[in-house]
Amino acid sequence: MSKTVPPPRRELVMPTEAEDRRIRRAAKADPDAQPLTDAQLKAMVPIQALRGRPKQENKKQLVSVRYSPEVLSYFRSTGDGWQARMDGVLLEYVAKQGRRRGAKGAA
């Protein structure tokens, strides 16, 4: 059984003041590495705020519903996105019902 040998420790070498001045001068002279303006810094957003899907105004609600096997089989057979297609069919139905109710109320 062999012993594992820890990796050699590396020492952190800090630049001297003269080296640091040269590094800073070179960085400031690089047109692709200019310091950010106050406006740019203010416009920055933490990456956590950008993760995931954008927030929707009209969030969908999670519910438990029972459907007949034929309905589920049909929509699942249409492939990925079948739930969205099912939602679209239901939205279309709701829109048609709304028009019918509006017509009945106007008569």
CA distance 44 to 53: 19
- Report pLDDT for 65: 94
List C-alpha distances in Å: 2 to 5, 6, 70, 77.
9, 13, 63, 57
Residue 107 has pLDDT above 50, yes or no: no
In a domain, 88, yes or no: yes
Residue 19 has pLDDT above 90, yes or no: yes
Length of the chain equals 107
* Domain hosting residue 90, numbered range: 80-107
CA distance 104 to 38: 60
In a domain, 9, yes or no: no
Number of domains in the chain: 1
**CB within 8 Å of 78: residues ≥ 6 apart:** 85
pTM over 0.75? The answer is no
In a domain, 106, yes or no: yes
In a domain, 101, yes or no: yes
Task: Yes or no: say if 76 and 82 are a contact pair by the CB < 8 Å rule.
Answer: yes
